[in-house]
Amino acid sequence: MKILLITHIYPPAIDGGSRVISKIGEYLKHNNHQIIVLTTNCKSTDDFINPFSAPISKNIKSKDHIFRIPVYKRLRKPLKFLNLFIPKSTVFHQYLEIFQKGPILKIVPFLRTIIYLKKQNIDLIVAGPLPTTIVVYANFLKKFLHSKLIINASFHETDKDFQKIPLVNSLKNTDYIWSLTDHEFQNFKNNFKIDSNKIILAGNGIDESMLIKSDKVNFPKNPNIIFIGSLASHKRVELLINAFSDLADIYSNLTLTIAGQKTLYFPQIQNLVSNQKHRNKIKFIFDFPQKKLVDLIDSSTVLVLPSIQESFGLVLIESWARGKPVISSNIPSLSELVKKTNGGLTFKIDSKDDLKNKISQLISNKIMCQNLGKNGLEYVKNNYTWDKVGEKIWQKISS
């Protein structure tokens, strides 16, 4: 079967949504399907509007069937200005808003690519995440190529973009929706009125090679909190920094590692750290390769994810794969994972005091850390490897 993957950025560029699409592609390729990729030549989502960013590759098509399309980087402001004159009640207004959120592919390279794809007889399109222009391109190609389409929506219930008619219609018109959590499944079924028979509850996965082989998990001598993720505003890294600063007054050997990709928001985080009394105990790691992820997690006592918006929380299952406990905000998608696995603690969203309390509980109780990490590890082994996730999806779409 020939399968087309469509996503906004693609490895070596990394974020949660693109990593999911690339990993399901690896699973399908391993199972003898031909994979073709349509993506941008950008290194991050910030590069969609950064005119000075360098592309990943100048080649539109590489020998491994990855089409990296250049994007228009100066169109968002004109579109925003144009939208001022369009009635908000119109679908056209909503389309313009969507095109202000995702990559806007350059027309000529895109047309050349779809002419090539037309000749390939694509059987299936796998696209995501929402809510970006990716879903617009995917729905167009579904019709143009006469292919089936499965969308990984990465649903955020607090994101008003998911209320826009073009995105709602795209979910209703797709052949399958790859759902990450029970919470997401129920929203699609009850609030979006989507037929549950085309919703595949599969979750996200990790490579089996990431699973810790030893029953004994090593914890660092001095407690180290780790955050892994994009350094964006919705991740609430500042909340973690402020909580850490208070705790560092109590636990003199406590350290904080912040690992992730810089965004346009990063200078605000950097300014906050520069004014911290314990700034020498805060370490930043940027653009680390995927193979270093295991070392980062192994060096930690607990992983903290204080986000106010997540569709799944891939770093949680990656932490559990190494036998480490987690602390997350109590938003529905993250709370569901922590409750299912019994692999960590949750804190009240945006509450520094509650976050401090939960961190203190874990860094002062090694036995609790070990037990929670072990619980998470067992659940991930049985439910969240890419083989298990891929099998759930493939059984549905091939039946």
Confidence tier at 64 by pLDDT (50, 70, 90) = confident
* Residue 33 confidence (pLDDT): 94
Q: Give yes or no for residue 58 having a pLDDT over 70.
A: no
Q: For residues 45 and 371, which has the higher predicted lDDT (pLDDT)? A: 371
* pLDDT bucket at 59, cuts 50 / 70 / 90: low
Q: Is the confidence at residue 61, as pLDDT, over 60?
A: no
- Name which of 41-50, 61-70, 279-288 the model is least confident about: 61-70
Is 103 in the same domain as 232?
Answer: no
Is 270 found in the same domain as 145? no
- Mean pLDDT over residues 11-38, rounded? 88
Confidence of residue 40 (pLDDT cuts 50, 70, 90): very high
Instruction: Return the closest-CA partner of residue 332 out of 320, 346, 352, 343.
Output: 346
Q: Which residues contact 13 (CB under 8 A, 6 or more apart)?
A: 42, 43, 44, 56
For residues 273 and 376, membership in a common domain is answered with: yes
Where residue 361 falls among pLDDT bands split at 50, 70, 90? Answer: very high
Residue 385 has pLDDT above 60, yes or no: yes
Rounded to two decimals, the pTM is 0.88
Pairwise pLDDT comparison (350 vs 288), residue with the higher score: 350
267 and 194 together in one domain? no
Give yes or no: residues 100 and 14 share one domain. yes
Give the pLDDT of residue 63.
61
Amino acid, single-letter form, for residue 148: K
The CA-based angle 219-236-40, given to 5 degrees, is 95
- The reported pLDDT for the residue numbered 62 is 58
Give 221-235 pLDDT, tens digit per residue: 999 999 999 899 999
Q: Are residues 263 and 330 in the same domain?
A: yes
Q: Are strands 66-69 and 124-127 parallel, antiparallel or unpaired?
A: unpaired
Instruction: Note the pLDDT tens digit of each residue in 84-98.
Output: 899 988 988 888 888
- Which residue segment(s) compose the domain that 30 sits in? 2-205+385-397
Cα–Cα distance for residue pair 241/236, rounded to 1 Å: 9
Specify whether 226 is located in the same domain as 127: no
pLDDT band at 373 (very low <50, low <70, confident <90, very high): very high
Mean pLDDT for the chain overall: 92
Range with the lowest mean pLDDT among 23-32, 51-60, 100-109, 383-392? 51-60
Residues 262 and 379 in one domain: yes
Are 118 and 238 found together in one domain? no
Assess whether pLDDT exceeds 80 at residue 213: yes
CATH number at residue 66: 3.40.50.2000
Tally of structural domains, the chain: 2
Sign of the CA dihedral with 361 first, then 363, 364, and 370 last: positive
Residues 262 and 222 placed together within one structural domain of the fold: yes
Tens of pLDDT, residue by residue over 102-157, are 899 999 999 999 999 999 999 999 999 888 899 889 999 999 999 999 999 888 88
- Do 52 and 177 fall into the same domain? yes
Q: Is the pLDDT at 60 greater than 60, yes or no?
A: no
Q: Order of strands across the sheet with 302-305?
A: 282-286, 255-260, 224-228, 302-305, 326-329, 344-347
Check whether residue 140 and residue 280 sit in a common domain: no
